[in-house]
Structure 1
Amino acid sequence: MDRHRLLGGAAAFALLGAFVTYAPHAQAQDTNAALEARIAQLEAELNSLKAEIRSARAEQQVQNQTLSDGIIRIEQRPAPVSVAEAPTSASARPAEGFRIGDHTIKLGGFIKADANISRYSDGDIPSGDLGRDFYLPSSIPVGGTSEGTATDFSARQTRFWLTSDGEVGGHKVGARIEMDFQALPGSGDHRTTNASSPALRHAFVTIDNWLIGQEWSNFQNLNVLPETADYLGPSEGMVLSRQVQVRYTRGPLSVSVENPETTLTPFGGGARIIADDNALPDITARYAHVRPWGEVQLAGLVRQLKYENPASAIDSSTYGWGLSASAKFKLGASDDIRLMLTGGEGIGRYVGLNLANDGVLDASGDIEAIGVLAGYAAYRHVWQPNWRSSFILSHQEIDNPEALTGLSVNRSASSARANLIWTPLTGVDVGAELMFGKRELQSGQSGDMNRLSLFAKYGF
């Protein structure tokens, strides 16, 4: 029976073929048109199906990535396990630092060795003075007798820090603690152990837009500081102050209230008075305008100057103000120009490492603010990817009321320097810098210093 069905099917197929072959011409045309329409419909459905498959694959990739990210986040918060049990996959660790709970902890710093070869025109800086390690304009000897060259080796600029970054209750929280050895020497000296005491540089916490603790003043712009052998650089021309503050930042604008302090010159001159009697904090505001060509920042400062001395029946206060403009302009792919100009009255301790006092007392014990104008210009040039130089000019001019301050106070300071820095390995810098500095008193008497600085630094 199967054979009969097969033969019957073959016969029917033959008859159908004969019918198609010998059908009238008009009927063949109708059949071809129907077949072409059907083929077009099938092609459209096939293209739609391909699009759906591509969309489904893309969605599956997103889901897989989301799942993978979730697994990584879970692996980065492991339960306490032994070292042998700890995950070793690179995807299970942060790119830098290590995890403690919800926070990423990072350790860093650098080790730096310096050699300063200095010659002074009017005497010598005492052994152990910070001016041996850094350029402190106020420490340049004036009115002494010229001595020979002095050479000092030091590792006191070595620095280390710890940072924390994470989320607490949906808020971004960070912290930083940073120490160095740039305070006065400790129990040792150049004869034996060369010990130096650790000193606190930074200690602050950030919560979203808030910063609380010790940090560089908001009146200062770190982004335009030139690269120099010692971190103080062209200090007479720059704003440089670290202190405890509360700062709020929103976009390019930041405002802060900061630790107050008043330094005064006694009537007629004499040893500096550090009053420590302020009732109001210093208030700052800074605006940053950053673009691909560089940046421009403007900062303002308003502060109270106050001094009380019951023994002398002095209870006086006045106000000071300051404005600072700074900029960095890119030149080509790697060179740049860096500028800062700062002026005001009663801001001496913020500029030039307190080269000028904030104010001076008159004969009645009232405070008169002292005006200052300071600035620097620096050009940075990259010779090769691992060779670079900075050329820097800096100056500060002080507007002393001579009848009150006398003639022994600082009137101006200036410096010029050029350096060459080589980076043979990642994190390693080796450099040399030539520097000339000059300090002048209100009397016109002056002294200068020439210094060759050599250094090697490894950052980690």
Structure 2
Amino acid sequence: MIKTSLMAGAAAAALLVTPGAALAQSSQSTLEARIAQLESELNALKSEVVASRSQQAAQQQDIIRLETRPAAPAPVQQAAAPAAPSDGFRIGNQTVKYGGFIKVDAYASNYSGGDPVNGDALREFHIPGSIPIGGADEDTATDFNARQTRFWLTTDGLIGGHKVGTRLEMDFQTLPGVADQRTTSPADLALRRAFITIDNWLIGQEWTNFQNTAVLPESADFIGAAEGTVFARQVQVRYTRGPFSVSVENPETTVTPFGGGARIIADDNSLPDFTARYAVSRPWGDFQFAGLLRQLKYQNPATNIDTTATGWGVSASTKIKVGSKDDIRLMLTGGEGIGRYVGLNFSNDAVLDASGELDAIGVVAGFAAYRHVWAPGWRSSLIWSAQKVDNDTGFTGLAVNRSAQSIHANLIWSPVTAFDVGAELMFADREIETGASGDMTRLILFAKYGF
């Protein structure tokens, strides 16, 4: 027991002797534990940093992929249904339209040189070369008809990227009635226009490219300024680009026999007629200049005739605005060998000389018209038209046409849209190379409805 007490006393003495050593040992253990904890926290932090960087790198790669991938294709636009036409109706990719007018005319005519026979076209519209000469003056003749009635059908659309259109137009005026008017007033349906358009091309029967229909005066008559205007519809191939157009057209030569006589309609041409036109539109109005070059040809094996000549013509026309509603319309045409194009073939294209050769006949023609609007729906036109032929009477004789002229004054009222009623008074005369002449005075009353 004494030994045990001694050992305990020794230990206590040791502790008393070295208290700092024991404290140092305890602090070191605590520091080592703290360092181990800090290392554990640091390793955890490193792991979080590495994970965060990995996530950022992945996000950056996603951004790169989004920026460099091909753009998504634009959404496919559904083809819009074709817009309904404002008029007409649609068949496939074509817009079809139709229209025309019904026109009823009443004529009261007086001819100084004798009445035309029943069925003569002069009784229904003004033909300068048909005014009678040399007959007896008769009482006023009255005629009624509806033969100027007209209708048309057109198509228009895109085919294979090309603009394609057609037009078919008919009336009953060109060919007068084939019978008398005792029980009916018959008329033959006649082709006016029938053509195809493909982009800038026109193929078919249309107004000649040498003509300017836009300046024709408004008249109750079928043509109005007949003596002075270019007037022809025929088959052609035409190309238009901007204000320019050129065409090749159906040829035909009309011939006066040597010394005079019945017109020869020669169908012997080898070359088509060639035309060129320049047309412009300006704020003050419209202007057109046209040229014609053609072959004149006549063959007659029975008389051993085979002859050609050259025909040419120029025509200038304009419509000039006067104020906000009125206008002046002018046309002047001249040339040689163009008789069938001017004044409804008032003169022939050429005459045969004594040796059987063709000699082109010169002609100058024109008209002037003033259109005045009196009030909404009311308007008038005053028209003067004339033609002068340069005949070589040594070849043609003295019975051929030398000159013609007419003057017209009308009043037209449109009480509702597309419906016109009106009256026109006209005076026309024709003179031949002998100096003999005949005249026609005519009053026209009409009603017309367009649809």
Tell me the TM-score normalised to structure 2 length. 0.82
- Aligned with 2:391 (options 400, 403, 411): 400
Q: Which residue of 1 aligns with 2:243?
A: 252
> Shift in Å at residue 289 of structure 1?
1.8
Contact 1:219 1:300 in 2 (8 A): yes
Q: Which residue of 2 aligns with 1:286?
A: 277
Contact 1:183 1:196 in 2 (8 A): no
**TM-align CA RMSD:** 1.4
Q: Which residue of 1 aligns with 2:432?
A: 441
Q: 2: distance between equivalents of 1:180 and 1:187? A: 15
> Shift in Å at residue 183 of structure 1?
3.0
Q: Which residue of 2 aligns with 1:174?
A: 165
Question: What does the per-residue CA deviation read over 1:283-319, in whole Å, with 9 as the maximum and x for residues that have no partner?
Answer: 0000012101101110000000000000000000010
What count of residue pairs does the alignment treat as equivalent?
377
SS of alignment partner, residue 227 of structure 2: helix
Q: Which residue of 1 aligns with 2:377?
A: 386
Question: What does the per-residue CA deviation read over 1:221-256, in whole Å, with 9 as the maximum and x for residues that have no partner?
Answer: 011100000231111000000000000000000000
Q: Is 2:137 aligned against 1:143?
A: no
Q: Which residue of 2 aligns with 1:41?
A: none
- Aligned with 1:242 (options 219, 233, 241): 233
Q: Is 2:445 aligned against 1:450?
A: no
Q: 2: distance between equivalents of 1:187 and 1:295? A: 41
SS of alignment partner, residue 279 of structure 1: coil
Q: Which residue of 2 aligns with 1:57?
A: none
Q: Which residue of 2 aligns with 1:309?
A: 300
Q: 2: distance between equivalents of 1:188 and 1:329? A: 44
Q: Which residue of 2 aligns with 1:99?
A: 90
> Shift in Å at residue 187 of structure 1?
4.7
Q: Which residue of 1 aligns with 2:64?
A: none
Moved more, 375-384 or 183-192: 183-192
Q: 1: distance between equivalents of 2:166 and 2:180? A: 34
Q: Which residue of 1 aligns with 2:401?
A: 410
Q: Which residue of 2 aligns with 1:358?
A: 349
Q: Which residue of 1 aligns with 2:266?
A: 275
Q: 2: distance between equivalents of 1:303 and 1:223? A: 24
- Aligned with 1:341 (options 332, 347, 368): 332
Contact 2:119 2:177 in 1 (8 A): no
- Aligned with 1:214 (options 205, 209, 212): 205
SS of alignment partner, residue 236 of structure 1: coil
Q: Which residue of 2 aligns with 1:367?
A: 358
Q: 2: distance between equivalents of 1:400 and 1:293? A: 38
* 1:44-63 alignment runs, 5 A limit: none
Q: What 5-or-longer segments of structure 1 have no aligned partner?
A: 1-62, 77-92
Q: 1: distance between equivalents of 2:276 and 2:136? A: 45
Q: 1: distance between equivalents of 2:125 and 2:325? A: 28
Contact 1:282 1:302 in 2 (8 A): yes
Q: 2: distance between equivalents of 1:185 and 1:240? A: 19
Contact 1:219 1:239 in 2 (8 A): yes
Contact 2:126 2:222 in 1 (8 A): no
Contact 1:375 1:396 in 2 (8 A): yes
> Shift in Å at residue 67 of structure 1?
7.3
* 1:71-220 alignment runs, 5 A limit: 71-73=80-82, 93-220=84-211
Question: What does the per-residue CA deviation read over 1:91-144, in whole Å, with 9 as the maximum and x for residues that have no partner?
Answer: xx3111000111000010000000010001111111111111101011110011
Call closer, same or farther: CA 1:329–1:126 in 2, change over 3 Å.
same
Contact 1:407 1:443 in 2 (8 A): yes
Question: What does the per-residue CA deviation read over 1:50-88, in whole Å, with 9 as the maximum and x for residues that have no partner?
Answer: xxxxxxxxxxxxx9xx979x5442xx6xxxxxxxxxxxx
* 1:8-27 alignment runs, 5 A limit: none
